[in-house]
Structure 1
């Protein structure tokens, strides 16, 4: 009985040491991955990287992590025409392979959400354009309201614009219809050049592609997914 008790105590101690070592190692790996992700995407703030699952060490031995989550805030996406700030970005990465002492991380697949406020969309819009919530729709389209002061018109002109993904990395705001006062004068193209615009969302992980957009009273959510997504390199 004494021997059995000693063996049990040893097993418990070893188990505790393993758990401690596992948690210390995972924190080191998360911190290094976050630092590399910040450098890779040139982010102003270090993102939060969370390696899910336990134990971490056995996942490392298998050569692949089941699930890694990344969250970043205040991402300034400069497209050369202006800065489109991304308020927040959250992504789940699956089947993540780390290499080079956790300096490089590539996921088999990933899905995420980028959130943009109307205030930031307004800053990225053409001069004089204000972007706000367009309300719910029955046809599933994502609409926002664009308001602008047009020369020669006393009151502001407002239109509902559809927000859509037009390239793997860009969103477009295009007016559904234009005021009859302008269409009657054949000014459609001129007005569209002033209010329709496209902006890319940069500084997101390489391999991520935008897929869809939904609107809320506070801003728009842009869904994304991808294969062979690079978290850090």
Structure 2
């Protein structure tokens, strides 16, 4: 049976090979992707190196162990070229300052400038929290049997073993000068004259790493947070 008019032409069109992407374009796309991956890897590798070097030098500013340093921002390599970092996070633990042990310190540094070898620099501004657990705060008092728990609104519940019984008091936690001050407000089952000032104590907060200063105190479920700040904090390998 003869094909209808135009059938042969349709068949020829259907058999034409499909034109794919030019080879040079495929190679170019692969090269661009590979270059991007290499730049990203170099960027992240540079971050790891810079964080380590910065942490080693900052440790010398009053930290008992090397703090954890995290440099924020991408791309990182442009920050290296300018030696200017907009956002750097520092974290350290178990910092002993006099009778007080700081359980954990977390701060955010801005406007960080370093020299070409990361051996010295300046933290433009530092803001964060020094956390002190209730256990560590109680240990800093003169009463080894004192137990502290949260009572809300910057209040703590203080319990003390009196031998034949236990005294429980509600106390305020405030900042006075450079000290944390715990003062009894009410005592369950006893008069103030019975207990005196046995549940009251003051803990100095001074000599913080990097010259940080203590601004305020808040009570949380697990302890107290000290708002700490600093400006133009310098660090170096000397």
Give the structure-2-normalised TM-score. Answer: 0.75
After superposition, residues 124-163 of structure 1 pair within 5 angstroms as 124-128=140-144, 130-137=146-153, 142-148=154-160, 155-163=165-173
After superposition, residues 179-194 of structure 1 pair within 5 angstroms as 180-182=191-193, 191-192=196-197
- The higher-RCO structure (CA 8 Å, 6+ apart) is 1
1:170 paired with 2:175, answer: no
1:30 paired with 2:51, answer: yes
In structure 2, the residue matched to 1:205 is 210
Q: Which runs of 5+ in 2 are unaligned?
A: 1-21
Report SS of the residue matched to 1:125.
Answer: coil
- Relative to 1, partners in 2 of residues 1:25 and 1:9: Cα closer, same or farther, differing over 3 Å? same
In structure 2, the residue matched to 1:89 is 105
1:115 paired with 2:136, answer: no
Structure 1 residue 163: Cα displacement? 1.6
- Could you list the per-position Cα deviations for residues 177-228 of structure 1 after superposition, in whole angstroms to 9, with x for gaps in the alignment? 6764518xxx9xxx4487321221544332x222222212321122222322
What CA distance in whole angstroms lies between the structure 2 residues aligned with 1:17 and 1:3?
A: 21
Structure 1 residue 7: Cα displacement? 5.4
Give the structure-1-normalised TM-score. Answer: 0.76
- Does the 8 A contact of 2:146 with 2:161 survive in 1? no
In structure 1, the residue matched to 2:19 is none
May I ask how many residue pairs the two structures share in their alignment? 214
What CA distance in whole angstroms lies between the structure 2 residues aligned with 1:121 and 1:199?
A: 11
- Relative to 1, partners in 2 of residues 1:199 and 1:146: Cα closer, same or farther, differing over 3 Å? farther
- Relative to 1, partners in 2 of residues 1:114 and 1:34: Cα closer, same or farther, differing over 3 Å? same
1:226 paired with 2:236, answer: no
1:215 paired with 2:219, answer: yes
Report SS of the residue matched to 2:113.
Answer: strand
Report SS of the residue matched to 1:133.
Answer: strand
Structure 1 residue 68: Cα displacement? 0.4
Q: Which runs of 5+ in 1 are unaligned?
A: none
